[in-house]
Amino acid sequence: MLHPIADAETLETEGKLAEAIQVYDDILTTTDGASTLALVNFRLGAIYHEWRELFTAQRFFAQAHQLDLSNADIRDAIAELNRHFSENREAVADEMSRKNSDQIVSLFRIATGIKLLTMDKPVQAYPLLKSRTKIFPNAAMAKHLLTDIQITEDERNSAINFLLERDWLVNTGASLYTITEKGLYNFYIELAQLHVANAAWTEAVMCYGQAYWLDSGQAYPRYQLVICHAGAEAWDAAVETIAELPAAVPEGVDPIAYHTAVAKSYHHVYQTTQDDAAQQSVVEACETVLGLDKKAKEISRLLASYQRRKAWWRR
């Protein structure tokens, strides 16, 4: 995005608040200017305030104020929030306790779901992990809302310890814990794989996309995205991603599945464009698949259809 703040504000105007949050979070990690960071924290606080996530809003407003002490809008937002807290002490305390419990439940379900996968129980793991994406539409929101969770010693069960042992959850203060980006990355990767196993291609695309957003240094999610785009028959999206990737498939990605997706994607593009480069890409991907698996009948038939075209052209 060339103008990320303008893009985020447009998303806000269109009511796409979850998407706006993710753009704003990108700005927080790529910008140094105090005035810009103050504005971004303020906008994040305003969105969470609108959603009644008041404690998350308070955190972002406080960060905005530290960056721009003289900003009247920020001071007014903080004053309004503090007034609400002061006038509704009992209700605020109840709400804080309830939200904290909900956060612990989310951590428990993430940890339990992944533990079940290590026990080869994907059927039981799937609904536990899938339920969290309804609560947190994207990784930025999960990161913001699973921050500074109060967990007492009595509440530190085996699921919480499972996350702590892997550095997927860290202690940020006295009895306060925050999920790490590493923890969220593994959550989205594991859930994406479950979506793939259930042929839920669109959901898998979302999860691999979020994993890549969390760690753009990892090639694995991008190659998996190609497979999922093809599974969803989103051929243009698959080809667009393929064009950005090196030919060598990284460890962990099934090369047969990947090159099959490449072949099918370029085949469908060729049907529309009759582009020679797309045709050549189909042939190369088919040959790669057949070099790995001579019994890949669907790909063998696809390659044969292109060889017939070539023979006809030569005649």
Q: How far apart are CA 165 and CA 294, in angstroms?
A: 44
Helix axes 72-87, 54-67, angle to 10 degrees: 150
Q: Which residues make up the CATH 1.25.40.10 domain(s) of the chain? A: 4-87
Dig out the tokens for 38 from the structure.
Answer: 């103050």
Residue 171's DSSP bridge partners are 177
pTM of the model: 0.93
Specify the CATH superfamily of domain 4-87: Tetratricopeptide repeat domain (1.25.40.10)
How far from 293 is each of 115, 257, 264, 298, 302, CA to CA, in Å? 34, 11, 16, 11, 14
Q: How far apart are CA 46 and CA 90, in angstroms?
A: 23
pLDDT of residue 174: 87
User: What's the topology of domain 219-314?
Assistant: 1.25.40
In a structure prediction context, what are the per-residue pLDDT tens digits for the chain, which is 315 residues long?
A: 558 999 999 999 999 999 999 999 999 999 989 999 999 999 999 999 999 999 999 999 999 999 999 999 999 999 999 999 999 999 999 999 999 999 999 999 999 999 999 999 999 999 999 999 989 999 999 999 999 999 999 999 999 999 999 999 999 988 999 999 999 999 999 999 999 999 999 999 999 999 999 999 999 999 999 999 999 999 999 999 999 999 899 999 999 999 999 999 999 999 999 999 999 999 999 999 999 999 999 999 999 999 876 544 443
How far from 100 is each of 30, 84, 89, CA to CA, in Å? 30, 19, 16
- In single-letter form, the type of residue at position 89 comes to R
Q: How far apart are CA 57 and CA 61, in angstroms?
A: 6
Q: How far apart are CA 102 and CA 80, in angstroms?
A: 25
Query: Is the CA virtual torsion 16, 19, 23, 29 positive or negative?
Result: positive
Pairing relationship of beta strands 149-150 and 176-179 according to DSSP bridges: antiparallel
- Specify whether the backbone of 274 is left (phi greater than 0), alpha (psi in -120 to 50) or beta: left
- The pLDDT tens digits of the residues spanning 55-103 come to 999 999 999 999 999 999 999 999 999 999 999 999 999 999 999 999 9
- Say if residues 285 and 262 touch (Cβ distance below 8 Å): yes
| Helices marked H in the chain | 4-13, 17-30, 34-50, 54-67, 72-87, 89-118, 122-135, 139-145, 158-165, 181-197, 201-214, 220-231, 235-242, 255-273, 276-292, 297-314
Query: Is the CA virtual torsion 117, 121, 123, 124 positive or negative?
Result: negative
